[in-house]
Amino acid sequence: MQMREFKIEIYIPKGYVKKLGDELSKVNVGKIGNYDHCMSINKVQGYWRPLEGADPFDGEVGKLCKGEECKVEVRCKREYVEAAMKIIRKVHPYEEPVINVIPLLNELFE
């Protein structure tokens, strides 16, 4: 079975959430029925340690860091996932953004 719809989770600093949502909306990501810009946003505490060779947006190489981020969740049809990934990487300030693409099984129950 080929999945038709996915949830994309993105961990991103709060100051970038609006731009991310606006850019994703331009390629039909976050569109559900007759609504667009549909996304969930939750504050989370992130932890990371930049290793040698890293160029961190926040923190120092070799030191354990923590900071407040937003977890953005948005639905996306299969045909838009690739465009969504390109936009996320363009908008996101992190060198290595955390992006999870999760298949949704809603179609099995409709």
> Does position 107 have pLDDT exceeding 90, yes or no?
no
Whole-number pLDDT of residue 109: 85
pTM beyond 0.95, yes or no: no
- Strands 5-12, 65-77: pairing kind: antiparallel
**pLDDT per residue as tens digits for the range 23-47:** 999 999 999 999 999 999 999 999 9
Q: Under CATH, what is the fold of the domain 5-44+71-109?
A: Alpha-Beta Plaits (3.30.70)
Domain boundaries, the chain: 5-44+71-109
Q: How far is CA 92 from CA 17, 66, 70, 89, 103, in A?
A: 9, 18, 12, 5, 22
pLDDT of residue 106: 87
Closest CA relative to residue 45, chosen from 72, 70, 14, 20 = 70
SS3 assignment, position 88: helix
Count of beta carbons in the 10 Å neighbourhood of residue 69: 21
Helix (H, G, I), strand (E, B) or coil at 69: strand
Question: pLDDT at position 28, please?
Answer: 96
Q: How far, in Å, CA of 68 to CA of 26, rounded? A: 27
